[in-house]
Chain A
Amino acid sequence: MNESPSERTGIITPFNVIAAVILAVGAVIILIRFVKGLGATTNLTHTNPWGLWIGFDVMTGVALAAGGYVTSSAVYLFGMKEYKPIVRPAILTGFLGYFLVVVGLIVDLGRPWRLPYPFVVQAGPTSALFEIALCVALYLTTLFVEFTPAAFEWLGWKRWRKVVVSMTVALTIFGLLLSTLHQSTLGAMYLATPTKLHPLWHSPYIPVHFFVSSIAAGISMVIFESMLSHRVFGHLVEISHVQFDNITVGLAKAGSVVLAVYFAIKVTGISLEDKWHYLSTPMGHWYLLELLGFVLLPCILFAVGFREKKTGLIRFAGAWTVIGIILNRLNVSIIAFNWQLPPDERYVPHWMEIWVTITIVTFGVVVFKWIVNRMPILYEHPDYRGMH
């Protein structure tokens, strides 16, 4: 049932061929990484121990997977029922996103088979990373459980579905709690590097910056991802164009407010710590580009899009915000990190690191496509129409 046209025309499609090539080469690189070590596949050094796999796959990945907790909280806790059609795709994106974060982490860790050590061998609770590891493990599980009703509907396991659906509110609260904790603590990791991260990005408020921007990331990713889904899987989507556009316009309002708050706390932070003078330096210009070009600008675009009901503009602002969040996380983890070192001591990713990151993203897209083509994600299963 519900096979997409591309699959009916066979397995050899341009998308599948390109994806297969990316995944095959990526698999070989990951093999090299595990046989010969991180040194053979990365540009990591003693001075720059964290590169793209942490900066993008983990730091950025977690932020971009925030759509799950943002939409499920809005619908199940705050009663915004009109957004229900976007919850399932957002939860699926979130689940796959976190799964890929763990995949990225496993590739990056020196001894990934010891990943459970903090919980089973020796705990280091003073580390922000300990809390993140615990939260991500629990939240990945939560997202998986939140995703299962779609799978159970597909499999026809009615009793199991009923059990999970009855836990919706508890799961949503747990998910919001865990997300608040680890989204902010990812920023708190950089509280330990006051001498290495540029003062404009390093701030005692960095946990708040990370948390609030993750909400903006979640909203923007939902706008961006639903636009793509409606283009690619249009035949699966049940809701009318008017309903879909109304949801997009509503999200724009939320996005505008969240980005305005984010902008305000960023500026407040600079004022409170009196960091204005840094703005006139080259790093300051780069910071202003991020703050004005990728926070304030999309904030205004969302507001205009909401007022004028221009969904095209809103979708552009959503994609722009996603780029802005990526820029921010890469700034904190790579670009503004070790900023005072001479160029030859700075980190630039190896092509194999970039390829593995692309591989991981591609893998996520392939699995998303496979699931959406089979399970009731973009439409309601006929047997459970109108039910929670």
Chain B
Amino acid sequence: MKISRRGFLHGMAAAGALATGTAKAAGHRKFDGYPGSFGLLHDTTLCVGCRSCEAACREVNNLPPVEVPVGDKDIFRKKRRTTEKAYTVVNEYRKATETTPAVYRKHQCMHCNEPCCASVCFVKAFTKTPEGPVLYDPDVCVGCRYCVMACPYYALAYEYDDPVTPRVVRCTMCYPRIKKGLNPGCSDACPTGAIVFGKRKDLIKLARDRIARFPDRYVDHVFGEHEFGGTSWLTLAGMPFGQLGLHDGATHTPIPEMATSYLSVVPLIVTIYPGLLLGMYAFTKRKEALALKEKNKAVADTLAKADEETKKKLADAAARAAKDKERAVNQAVKKAGAEAKKAAEKKEDEK
């Protein structure tokens, strides 16, 4: 299994480099594709919509032959897309007029320099090879189809009818043929030279040269040179790319960079949260403890105050009682004195 290289570096850096802690280690560097990698140029101004490429693609990839014979233009009445049985399809984008020919564009995996499919795969099933092709490894694929969903070119297909070993299916840029020194099947089959295989850098030069030589024939843009970080497949056109089902004015920022930017937050949350939340918990506990302490103090104070008042009341009562007693004694003494006096007077009278 190939260890994938580029395409993940952005994400790995953005992921805060979970292990190393060197976030955005390569943040100031830009990746323009592997030097010396291959590519293909589709010049839509030369394409006649014969679909020889479709037939050749099926042949070299051991797929069932094309259902509608090559050259039959009826097929263009309906827009088609790549499927698990067709790695490439040609669509018609403008009908022929008396003065202008019809315009066709070939669909297939664009083989991005920084593939979105690779960055969103949670088992790293995709690899950008230094030769250019993006390869897929069905042996690890779980079948989540995030890659199919994320591809901006709608280039990936899935084997929905296979219950046991469904795979993601797409153009391989004929990697096995490239390895053998052969050209991809489609470029060999093209009768008009609309598909050219070669070093990506040379193809960009060739495309620029054609635009310079025939400025009226081409829109001054090579699609795939910079779009979302660039692709191995390049496209030349005589009409706006937006009308060819491609992204007009697409950003040069690779989608993996946008998709993984948020992951830098992950290590922050993992490291900050426990301390922060424990702190909040401690504050809550402390507040509760303080409230309890204050409550206890208030109760004690109240009790103490009540105690004092009671003592005072008791003392007052005792004092009052003592006074009452004294008065009673005095009164009793007085009364006894008076009575004695009376009795003495009475005795004197009887004498």
A-B contact count (CB 8 A): 187
CB of B120 within 8 A of CB of A111, answer no
Q: Which residues of B contact A193 (CB under 8 A)?
A: 149-150, 152
8 A Cβ contacts from B134-171 to A? 140-146, 148-150, 152, 154, 156-163, 165-166
Contact across chains for B273 and A192 when beta carbons are under 8 A apart: no
Q: How many residues of A contact B (CB 8 A)?
A: 57
Chain B CB count within 10 A is highest, among A38, A133, A196, for A38
**What's the nearest-Cβ distance from chain A to residue B138, in Å?**
9
Q: Is A126 an interface residue (CB 8 A)?
A: yes
Interchain CA distance A50-B143 in the complex, whole Å: 11
- In the complex, which of the residues B116, B124, B159, B277 contacts A124, with contact meaning CB atoms closer than 8 Å? B124
Contact among B14, B119, B156, B269 for A180, CB-based, below 8 A:
B269
A184: Cβ under 8 A from any B Cβ: yes
* Bound Cα distance from A109 to B274, whole angstroms: 33
B contact residues around A76 at 8 Å (CB): 281
Kindly state the interface size class of chain B when it binds its partner.
35 or more
Asked if A366 is at the interface (CB within 8 A of a chain B CB), the reply is no
* Cα–Cα distance between A79 and B290 once the two chains are bound (Å): 14
Query: In the complex the two chains form, is B255's CB within 8 Å of A192's CB?
Result: yes
Closest to A189 in B: B146
What distance in Å separates the Cβ of B294 from its nearest Cβ neighbour in chain A?
16
Judge if B280 is at the interface, Cβ distance under 8 Å: yes
Please report A residues at the B interface, Cβ cutoff 8 Å: 33-40, 42, 44-47, 49-50, 76-79, 109-112, 114-115, 117-118, 121-131, 133, 169, 173, 176-177, 180-181, 184-185, 188-189, 191-196, 204, 207
Interface residues of B in 96-147 (CB under 8 A from A): 116, 118-125, 140-146
| Contact partner, B154, options A47, A121, A185, Cβ 8 Å | A47
A150 to chain B, nearest CB (A): 23
Would you give 10 A-B contacts (Cβ < 8 Å), ordered by A? Answer: A36-B163, A37-B159, A110-B143, A114-B143, A118-B122, A125-B263, A126-B120, A128-B120, A177-B273, A184-B265
Q: Are A37 and B166 in contact (CB under 8 A)?
A: yes
Q: Is the CB of A49 within 8 A of B288?
A: no
Name the residue on A nearest B156 (C-beta): A46
Contact in complex: B269, A78 (CB < 8 Å): no
B48 within 8 A of partner (CB): no
A110 cross-chain contacts in B, Cβ below 8 A: 141-145, 158-159, 166
One of A44, A129, A131, A181 near B160 (C-beta < 8 A): A44
B82 adjacent to A46 (CB under 8 Å): yes
**A46-B81, A50-B145, A177-B269 as given contacts; A126 in contact with B262, CB under 8 Å:** no
Contact of B304 with A by CB under 8 A: no
State whether the Cβ of B260 lies closer than 8 Å to any Cβ in chain A. Answer: yes
Given known A-B contacts A37-B163, A110-B142, A122-B140, A176 and B277 have beta carbons under 8 A apart: yes
Q: Least Cβ distance of A108 to chain B in Å?
A: 8
Q: Which of A49, A78, A127 is close to B158, meaning CB atoms less than 8 Å apart? A: A49
Structural contact, B120 and A50, CB atoms closer than 8 A: no
Count chain A CB atoms within 10 A of each CB in B81, B121, B159, B163 and give the residue with the most.
B163
Q: Are B123 and A117 in contact (CB under 8 A)?
A: yes
Which of chain B's residues have a CB closer than 8 A to the CB of A204? 261
Contact A127–B119 (Cβ < 8 Å): yes
Q: Is the CB of B150 within 8 A of A173?
A: no
Complex alpha-carbon distance, A157 and B183, angstroms: 71
| Identity of the chain A residue whose Cβ is nearest the Cβ of B169 in the assembled complex | A46
Cα distance A122–B144 when bound, in Å? Answer: 15
Which residues from chain B contact A37 at a C-beta distance below 8 Å?
Answer: 159-163, 166
Within 240-260 of B, Cβ neighbours of A (below 8 Å) are at 247, 250, 255-256, 258-260
Which has the most chain B C-beta neighbours within 10 Å: A49, A115, A129, A184? A49
Chain B residue at minimum C-beta to C-beta distance from A127: B122
Contact A127-B146, Cβ < 8 Å, known A37-B163, A77-B280, A207-B262:
yes
> Of residues B166, B263, B288, which shows the largest number of chain A Cβ atoms within 10 Å of its Cβ?
B263
- Interface contact A173-B18, CB-CB below 8 Å: no
For A177, list chain B residues within 8 Å (CB): 269-270, 273-274, 277
Q: In the bound complex, do residue A192 and residue B269 qualify as a contact, i.e. CB atoms below 8 Å apart?
A: no
Among residues of A, the one whose C-beta sits closest to the C-beta of B273 is A177
Alpha-carbon distance between A184 and B265 when the two chains are bound, in angstroms = 10
A352 CB, nearest partner CB in chain B, Å: 13
Name B256's closest neighbour in chain A (CB-CB): A126
A118: which of B83, B123, B266, B274 is its contact (CB, 8 Å)? B123
**Docked pose: A306 CA to B15 CA in angstroms:** 42
Does chain A have a CB within 8 A of B287?
yes
Q: Which residues 265-287 in B have Cβ within 8 Å of A in the complex?
A: 265-266, 269-270, 273-274, 277-278, 280-281, 284-285, 287
Q: Tell me how far the C-beta of A359 lies from the nearest C-beta in chain B, rounded to whole angstroms.
A: 19
Q: A77-B277, A77-B281, A195-B247 are in contact. Are A126 and B146 (CB under 8 A)?
A: no
Let me know if B11 is at the binding interface, CB within 8 A: yes
Cα–Cα distance between A124 and B115 once the two chains are bound (Å): 14
Beyond A110-B166, A193-B150, whether A185 also contacts B278 by CB under 8 A is no
In the complex, what residues of B have CB within 8 A of residue A169's CB? 278, 281
Q: Which residues of A contact B258 (CB under 8 A)?
A: 191-192, 194
Task: Say yes or no: is B223 at the interface (Cβ < 8 Å to chain A).
Answer: no
B284 touches A78 (CB 8 A): yes
Q: Which residues of B contact A126 (CB under 8 A)?
A: 8, 10-12, 14-15, 118-120, 256, 260, 263
In the bound complex, what is the Cα–Cα distance between A35 and B141 (angstroms)?
19
Set of chain A residues within 8 Å of B278, measured between Cβ atoms:
169, 173
Q: A185–B163 Cα gap in the complex (Å)? A: 29
CA distance A382 to B266 in the complex (A): 42
B residues in contact with A125, CB < 8 Å? 11-12, 15, 18, 263
Contact of A46 with B140 at beta-carbon distance under 8 Å, contacts A78-B284, A128-B262, A195-B152 already known: no
**Does A129 lie within 8 Å of B144, measured CB to CB?**
yes
Nearest Cβ distance between residue A189 and chain B, in whole angstroms? 7
- Cβ distance B16 to chain A, nearest Cβ, rounded Å: 10
- Tell me which residues across on chain A come within 8 A of B142, comparing CB atoms: 109-112, 114-115, 117-118
